[in-house]
């Protein structure tokens, strides 16, 4: 086993979020497309191999301030079964790869917890890539995505979508189409600098619970609740149109759809929006922004502010300080990489 360090960006979802959760993308009448972009708030995973086998398996989360050590893989599995493992995401990833030998796995999430930026998925991609690289068994990106989705589903005990794993792996701006038999990932030829200049990111300070909110939407859709079904069908049509506009280089047209996606999403199911999110949207529009969009499943987390062309956005930090915490928005052209 060798020591290795891996970093992976998180993502902002521009359109089509929630459509990526099985089986929604297979049931909708038209192909479900999700459009997103990699965000340079990287999650990192570092594996330090130990020559002394008695050192066991160490798990360290810097952002959570938590660490624990287990004698071996069997002891780690027993801790998970007993519910005494404090870092289940790390533990399940280790047990999915089952590397031999002693090591310490240290992780650090680059984004706030529950920010709606796919932080846990990016972290899991980095962890699994580090574990596989340490034993010199690297996986192709789509195999790593499938493994990460399975592991996170096991941890959450709820269905997860596929979009959160792909910006960490590919970087850039992506259109992802869910289809029977697999995913089609299309890197979009978008000027990331131009897109970045039109966006600002604000953390509301209230972490969301994406498993709860997303599952509520899925359940409502499967139960045939008319408002949720209509909203998801509208989001599906909108996301396909956004992909077409970005393909054509129509950034203004695409960003108008980002805002429209946000409007539809806020009425999609109870809990997607909050009074704080509505107040932030109102303040941003009063200041001249085109509008906002809730990221991830909503219910808290981050809100994306869309600026008019030519607005430097310097007002965001001061005007919206009472509504949340501005977060630097830098798009990442590259995905996961070893350092």
SS3 per-residue string spanning 55-100: HCEEEEECCCCEEEEECCHHHHHHHHHHCCCCCHHHHHHHHHHCCC
If asked whether residues 79 and 161 sit together in one domain, one would say yes
Residue 117, domain CATH: 3.30.230.10
Indicate the number of domains in the chain: 2
Same domain, 258 and 288: yes
Is 339 domain-assigned? Answer: no
Q: Are both 101 and 82 inside the same structural domain?
A: yes
pLDDT at residue number 243? 97
CA distance 12 to 329: 10
Report pLDDT for 210. Answer: 54
126 and 177 assigned to the same domain: yes
Q: 147 and 58, same structural domain?
A: yes
Q: Could you report the average pLDDT of every consecutive run of 10 residues in the chain (339 residues)? A: 94 93 89 95 96 93 96 96 96 96 95 88 97 94 96 90 96 95 94 96 71 74 89 93 97 96 77 78 89 79 91 81 81 95
> Of 143, 161, 188, which residue sits at a domain end?
188
Shared-domain flag, residues 46 and 181: yes
In-domain check, residue 307: yes
Chain centre to alpha carbon of residue 215: 16
45 occurs within a structural domain: yes
The residue range of the domain holding 93 is: 4-188
Do 184 and 196 fall into the same domain?
no
Report if residue 335 sits inside a domain.
Answer: no
250 lies in some domain:
yes
Residue 183 and residue 52 share a domain: yes
215 and 108 in a common domain: no
DSSP 11-56: EEEEE-TTTTBTTHHHHSSS-EEEEEEEEEEEEEEEEEEES-GGG-
Last residue of a domain, one of 188, 210, 237: 188
Sheet holding 302-306, edge to edge: 291-294, 302-306, 199-203, 325-327
DSSP bridge pairs for 105: 47, 59
Mark which of 188, 216, 250 sits at the end of a domain. 188
User: Are 204 and 301 members of one domain?
Assistant: yes
């Amino acid at each position: 086993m060798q020591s290795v360090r891996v970093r992976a960006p998180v993502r902002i979802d521009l359109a089509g979020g929630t459509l990526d959760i099985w089986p929604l993308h297979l049931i909708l009448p038209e192909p479900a497309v999700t459009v997103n972009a990699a965000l340079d708030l990287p999650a990192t995973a570092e594996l330090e191999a130990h020559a002394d086998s008695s050192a066991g398996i160490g798990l360290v989360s810097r952002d959570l301030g938590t660490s624990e050590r287990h004698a071996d893989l069997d002891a780690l599995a027993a801790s998970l079964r007993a519910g005494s493992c404090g870092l289940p995401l790390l533990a399940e990833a280790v047990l999915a790869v089952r590397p031999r030998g002693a090591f310490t796995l240290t992780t650090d999430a680059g984004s706030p917890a529950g920010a709606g930026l796919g932080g846990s998925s990016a972290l899991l991609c980095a962890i699994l890539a580090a574990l596989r690289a340490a034993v010199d068994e690297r996986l192709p990106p789509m195999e790593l995505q499938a493994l990460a989705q399975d592991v996170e589903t096991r941890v959450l005990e709820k269905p997860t979508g596929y979009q959160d794993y792909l910006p960490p792996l590919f970087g850039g701006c992506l259109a992802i189409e869910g289809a029977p038999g697999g995913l089609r990932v299309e890197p979009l030829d978008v000027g990331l600098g131009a897109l970045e200049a039109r966006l600002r990111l604000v953390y509301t300070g209230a972490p969301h619970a994406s498993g709860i909110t997303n599952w509520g939407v899925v359940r409502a859709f499967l139960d045939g609740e008319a408002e949720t079904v209509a909203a998801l069908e509208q989001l599906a049509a909108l996301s396909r149109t956004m992909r077409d506009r970005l393909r054509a280089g129509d950034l203004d047209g695409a960003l108008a759809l980002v805002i429209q996606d946000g409007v539809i999403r806020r009425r999609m199911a109870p809990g997607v929006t909050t009074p704080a999110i509505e107040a932030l949207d109102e303040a941003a529009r009063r200041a001249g922004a085109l509008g906002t969009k809730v990221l991830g499943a909503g219910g808290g987390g981050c809100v994306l502010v869309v600026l008019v062309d030519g607005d430097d956005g310097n007002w965001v930090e001061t005007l919206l300080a009472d509504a949340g915490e501005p977060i630097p928005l830098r798009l990442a052209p590259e995905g996961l990489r070893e350092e």
